[in-house]
């Protein structure tokens, strides 16, 4: 019997382009001072900017707090039906 898990809620809050709080985070795939790549319940989330930092990470709660100068935020979709088709970002960072 297959157990079906309900997706967690995903929320993205940006304050004055300096700080951000993200919920529904499944994994932090990569991060450096100019780019942070997160896997969320709603797809891949790429945050670009300068002097970016991951201030707090709670894997159990699926929460991440970011700080720095946020220039852009972009999503790419993820195949929710089992995620059999890997997307561009997943292939790029393997």
User: Can you give the pLDDT at residue 77?
Assistant: 79
Q: Would you state the pLDDT for residue 87?
A: 57
Tokens 């940006």, residue located: 14
Helices (H) and strands (E) in the chain, counts: 1, 6
Tell me, what's the pLDDT at 2? 52
Mind listing the domains of the chain with CATH numbers? 11-76 (2.60.40.2000)
Q: What is the mean pLDDT of each run of 10 residues along the chain (94 residues)?
A: 64 96 94 95 95 93 96 80 51 58
What is the reported pTM?
Answer: 0.74
Instruction: Give alpha helix (H) positions in the chain.
Output: 88-92
Give the pLDDT confidence score for residue 80 in this predicted structure.
45
């Amino acid at each position: 019997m297959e157990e079906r898990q309900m997706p967690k809620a995903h929320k993205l809050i940006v304050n004055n382009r300096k700080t951000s709080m993200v919920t529904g985070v499944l994994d932090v795939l990569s991060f450096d001072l100019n780019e942070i790549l997160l896997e969320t319940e709603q797809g891949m989330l790429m945050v670009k900017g300068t002097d970016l930092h991951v201030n707090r990470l709670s894997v159990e709660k699926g929460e991440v707090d970011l700080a720095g100068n946020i220039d852009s935020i972009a999503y790419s979709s993820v195949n929710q039906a089992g995620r059999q088709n890997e997307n561009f970002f997943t292939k790029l960072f393997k």
